[in-house]
Amino acid sequence: MAKSMFRPDLLAGHRILVTGGGTGLGRSMAEAFAAHGAEVVIWGRRGQVLEEAAAEMREATGGTVTPMAVDIRNAGQIDEAMQAIFDEKPLTGLVNNAAGNFISRTEDLSANAFNAIASIVAHGTFNTTVAAGRRWIAGGHRGNILSIVTTWVWNGSAFTVPSAMSKAGVAAMTRSLAVEWGPKGIRANAIAPGPFPTKGAWERLMPAPLAAKLGGGTGADDIPLRRLGDHFELAQLALFLMADECEYLTGEIIAIDGGQWLVSAGNFSQFTRLDAADWEMIGQAIRATNQQDRAQRTT
């Protein structure tokens, strides 16, 4: 097994569904769950991609990974697939990871373009969550919901408005259900990842011609920790949140972004670029001003 700060049987006895589990961050989390003893079910739109991913994960972990071709834009498909899962054995956890996004000027978006994102992120997440929750409640089972949002749920995001709106809705769902379903033994938390490179997101948020025009940088220089995220780090946080050992944690949205979103919250964030000589110059200038003020007060 790959390195991990958790014991290999952390999730023994767990059965977790990961939507969008065949690629990107979903796949990284699904593989980590399988490597820590969970039975994993992955949903995605492309059957072939899912089958291959599941086979590779089984090979890598020796765990149980079951692929199911389900498009979460289709509420009927969700319900049917969820019933099939619960008929076999109830889930213990659900990870709402499937998402869609692309950058565009908002004034260029059609109603259909908005729907292309909202039907996955807002409607799909809601329908999947309720399909699991309804069955947990009816069967008297405990449950654990983890949704992948973004830090945009706090500060919005220009040029990705349908995603920002939908993800903010998922954050609201998380906090709402933590209260509504808490007494029934169901937890709900969210992770807000910063930049963790994935093919699906990068091709649509930083398409090659745009990256070239912007100088080919990764954006890492603008992050306080000066690097992008590693999928391993996100998977470790997901493992923690899915574990029984943190059962008192609910209703939280946890950012894992190297401090990125806080940069825009301060007026002086760009000053991390200054060196010692700059600070010496700044100190002298401010002290000179103070001295002038004092001199004026005493004359």
Tell me how far apart the alpha carbons of residues 289 and 287 are, in angstroms, rounded to a whole number: 5
| Binding piece for ligand HXC, criterion CB under 6 A, among 104-112, 170-178, 225-233, 263-271 | 104-112
Nearer to ligand HXC, 169 or 194 (CB): 194
Minimum distance of ligand HXC from residue 117's CB (angstroms): 6
Minimum distance of ligand HXC from residue 183's CB (angstroms): 31
Each residue 111-130 as x (binds ligand HXC by CB under 6 A) or -, in order, gives -xx--xx--x----------
| Binding piece for ligand HXC, criterion CB under 6 A, among 10-18, 192-200, 221-229, 238-246 | 192-200
Match 């220009």 to its residue by tokens.
158
As separate numbers, helices (DSSP H) first and strands (DSSP E) second, the chain gives 12, 7
Query: Which residues, other chains included, contact 160 with Cβ-Cβ below 8 Å and sequence gap of 6+?
Result: 101, 102, 103, 104, 152, 205
Tell me how far apart the alpha carbons of residues 4 and 31 are, in angstroms, rounded to a whole number: 12
Q: For residue 150, state whether it binds ligand HXC (rule: CB under 6 A).
A: yes
Under DSSP, is residue 190 helix (H, G, I), strand (E, B) or coil?
Answer: strand
Residue choice 99, 164, 191, 255 for contact with ligand HXC (CB under 6 A): 99
Under DSSP, is residue 22 helix (H, G, I), strand (E, B) or coil?
Answer: coil
Q: For residue 163, state whether it binds ligand HXC (rule: CB under 6 A).
A: yes
Residue choice 110, 267, 298, 299 for contact with ligand HXC (CB under 6 A): 110
Tell me how far apart the alpha carbons of residues 38 and 144 are, in angstroms, rounded to a whole number: 13
Three-class SS string for 35-95? HCCCEEEEEECCHHHHHHHHHHHHHHHCCCEEEEECCCCCHHHHHHHHHHHHHHCCCCEEE
Minimum distance of ligand HXC from residue 194's CB (angstroms): 6
Q: Give yes or no for a contact between 102 and 204, defined as CB atoms under 8 angstroms apart.
A: yes
Nearer to ligand HXC, 202 or 240 (CB): 202
| Binding piece for ligand HXC, criterion CB under 6 A, among 93-101, 209-217, 219-227, 285-293 | 93-101
Under DSSP, is residue 203 helix (H, G, I), strand (E, B) or coil?
Answer: helix
Q: For residue 253, state whether it binds ligand HXC (rule: CB under 6 A).
A: no
Minimum distance of ligand HXC from residue 121's CB (angstroms): 7
Contacts with ligand HXC by CB under 6 A lie at 99-102, 104, 108-110, 112-113, 116-117, 120, 150, 163, 194-195, 200-201, 204
